[in-house]
Each structure stands twice: as structure tokens, then as C-alpha cells.
């Protein structure tokens, strides 16, 4: 049986894999994401391409040290072509949500699978989220109740929680929004014999 490792300490991604019945180990990739993003942005790399590059880097960083297949994943938020990271404070989250309010933005979720020093498979999928024009009072109440979600997710919301109330509609896959495009990954793992066909 091929060993599978998730190059992440993300509880959300681990939960998605476990929920799908996939057995795996976890390992921290130790990638300096900020430095890589800065370098890629200096070359005009798009937010979607940055998500892919980060997923590749995480998978390869762990694949050097373990046997079997290694999954790397990353997600970027793209608003009008600009890349945004997680908010560093509640004030920054408040300003981010005011900026996104009433407008669409994109989440690019990338996933890569490596063995040794080679990327065997990769995929980047995009979902477009249309945020409703919520009131200032609603925003303040949301931030008071959901400060952890606001600071631990790139969009300052978690769709699987109260954050879903921010949206009018969404174009795209739910798993893409959660940061792990599962359907393509599961299909690849079946082709590799990791999962039963």
C-alpha cells in the first residue's frame, strides 16, 4: 500500500481527507510562504499561479524526506487581480470585509502530489464568491462572534460556519472554497491504486 502524507498542519484540510475516507500522515512543510509570494509577485505571477507554486513547494519540501506520495495544497484570495493574505488583526479583517462587501472575489485552490523530487499531478480550481451588501451592524456582530474565523481564513470567513451568511451566491465547488479540491485528487489517487477503484 502506498503511503500518503499531507504536507500541512491544516485541521480543515485534514478533516476533508478523513471525511472522504483517505488514510494519511501529516507533516509540516516548513515553506517560507511570505518570501515565495513576494518573489512571485515581483515577477508578475497571478494569484492562481501563486497558489499552484505554493502547493508544489509544500509537496516537494516534504517529499524529499518521506516515502510514498505527498499532497501539498494552498489557497489564495484574488480580488480584482490582487492577492490577499490572512488578516493580521480584527481591524484589518473589518476593512477587508468592507472592501469585499457587495462584490465578487475569487478563491484559487491548488493541490499538488509529489514523490521524491517530482510533481506527479497538480490542479488549480477557482470558485467565485458573490458577497452580499451586509450592514455595518451585521458586520460588527459577525466579527464579535467570529474573531477566530476572521483571522484564520484568507477571506476572513468560514463558509462552513456563520460566514455563509455573507453571500448571495457562489459559482464553484464547495471543496475548492474549503481549500482542497477533492474530486480531482480522489480520481488521481484511484488511478495510482492508493484508493480502491
Catalytic residue among 74, 133, 141, 148: 74
Does the active-site annotation cover 173? no
Residue bearing cell 484508493: 195
Residues 6+ away with beta carbon under 8 Å from 63: 7, 69, 70, 114, 115, 116, 117
Range list of H helices, the chain: 11-19, 33-42, 47-63, 90-100, 136-145, 147-152, 174-177, 182-191
73 vs 13: CA distance, rounded Å = 9
Catalytic residues: 74
Amino acid at each position: 500500500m502506498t503511503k500518503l502524507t499531507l504536507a500541512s498542519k491544516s485541521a480543515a484540510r485534514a478533516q476533508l481527507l478523513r471525511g472522504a475516507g483517505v488514510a494519511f500522515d501529516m507533516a509540516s512543510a516548513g515553506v517560507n510562504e511570505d518570501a515565495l509570494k513576494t518573489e512571485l509577485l515581483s515577477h508578475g505571477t497571478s494569484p492562481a499561479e501563486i497558489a499552484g507554486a505554493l502547493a508544489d513547494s509544500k509537496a516537494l519540501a516534504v517529499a524529499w524526506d518521506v516515502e510514498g506520495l505527498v499532497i501539498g495544497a494552498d489557497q489564495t484570495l484574488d480580488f480584482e487581480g490582487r492577492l490577499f493574505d490572512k488578516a493580521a488583526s480584527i481591524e484589518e479583517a473589518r476593512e477587508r470585509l468592507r472592501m469585499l462587501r457587495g462584490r465578487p472575489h475569487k478563491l484559487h485552490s491548488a493541490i499538488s502530489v509529489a514523490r521524491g523530487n517530482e510533481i506527479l499531478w497538480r490542479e488549480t480550481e477557482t470558485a467565485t464568491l458573490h458577497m452580499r451588501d451586509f450592514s455595518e451592524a451585521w458586520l460588527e456582530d459577525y466579527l464579535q462572534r467570529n474573531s477566530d474565523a476572521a483571522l484564520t481564513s484568507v477571506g476572513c470567513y468560514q463558509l462552513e460556519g456563520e460566514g455563509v451568511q455573507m453571500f448571495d451566491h457562489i459559482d464553484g465547488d464547495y471543496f475548492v472554497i474549503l481549500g482542497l479540491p477533492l474530486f480531482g485528487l480522489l480520481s488521481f489517487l484511484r488511478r495510482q491504486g492508493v484508493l480502491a477503484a
